[in-house]
Amino acid sequence: MSIKKAKTQEDLPPIERLKWVMECLRDKENGCPWDIEQNFKSILPYTIEEAYEVADAIERDNMKDLREELGDLLLQVIYHTQMAAELGLFNFDDVTSDIADKMVSRHPHVFGDVEASNAEDVNAIWDQQKDKEKAQKSALDGVTKGLPALLRAQKLQKKAAKTGFEWQNSNDAFAKVEEEIVEFKDACTNSSKEHQEEEFGDILIALTNYARMEGINAEEALRKANEKFIKRFKGIEDDFLEKGDQLSNASLDQMLQAWKNQK
């Protein structure tokens, strides 16, 4: 009997129904050929993409889209846990139980007798509990390599700052940005592409550190800048179309003037 006939989805609670759907998709005999072929690495890009689509829906304040995107992200969790269960590694219940235990452990001010009166107290408690849970060899341990580079840079610098490896103020941090720009300009004149890339990376690190000290989320800032660029660029395309012309026929000066008009 196939898995599709062995269960009736109508009587299942919503989360169990979703798990059942994934079991059907991954069923070796009656499932979807594409889903059966997938593994953790092949699904990873979709997992990352869905997380960003959740962020986009929130940024647009579109609750209808957010509901849908959260479902898509949850499906990714179900997908990974189903594959892990097939390999005898862990299952969905293990994942949900672990995160519940972690949240209880890291919130002794809610589930225990520890006092916390503000967000700073909570952050300190969180870090203390993490240190108890994990024997770290480096202050930088725990920042996953799978994060977007800009976000990872900010998290690494935040961890380093907790050891005292920190500029006295943001003005000093910005001076470092200016220093790195000079070094990059010099590399562009006299050095290989590899050295230019290295110096450019140093600029990004310095800028990200300055942003962190100023309370700016570098990843969010770049994401919003991307969206602003798209909006303005499409705007100048529309301007030229309204005039019966193509953007590709315009001079750079004309494009720049149209860009200024969008601003």
List b or e across 62-101, with b for residues whose CB sees 16 or more CB atoms inside 10 angstroms.
eeeebeebeeebebbbbbbbbbbbeeeeeebeeeeeeeee
Q: What is the pLDDT of residues 129-140, one digit of tens each?
A: 776 666 557 888
**Domains 3-103 and 136-216 in one fold:** yes
36 phi and psi angles, rounded to 5 deg? -65, -35
Token pair 């200016």 is at which residue? 178
Q: Is the pLDDT of residue 4 over 60?
A: no
84: its two tokens: 């892990």
Cα–Cα distances (Å) from 73 to 51, 70, 145, 189, in that order, read 6, 5, 20, 46
Task: Look at residue 105 in the predicted model and tell me its pLDDT.
Answer: 81
Q: Report pTM.
A: 0.60
Tokens 């500029």, residue located: 167
Interacting residues of 150 by C-beta distance below 8 A, sequence separation 6+: 204, 208, 218, 219, 222
May I ask the CATH class of domain 136-216?
mainly alpha
The C-alpha atoms of residue 188 and residue 180 are separated, in whole angstroms, by 12
Top-level CATH class of 3-103?
Answer: mainly alpha
Q: What is the pLDDT of residues 210-249, one digit of tens each?
A: 999 999 999 989 988 998 999 999 998 888 888 888 888 8
- Retrieve residue 136's tokens: 């770290």
- Domain locations along the chain: 3-103, 136-216, 220-262
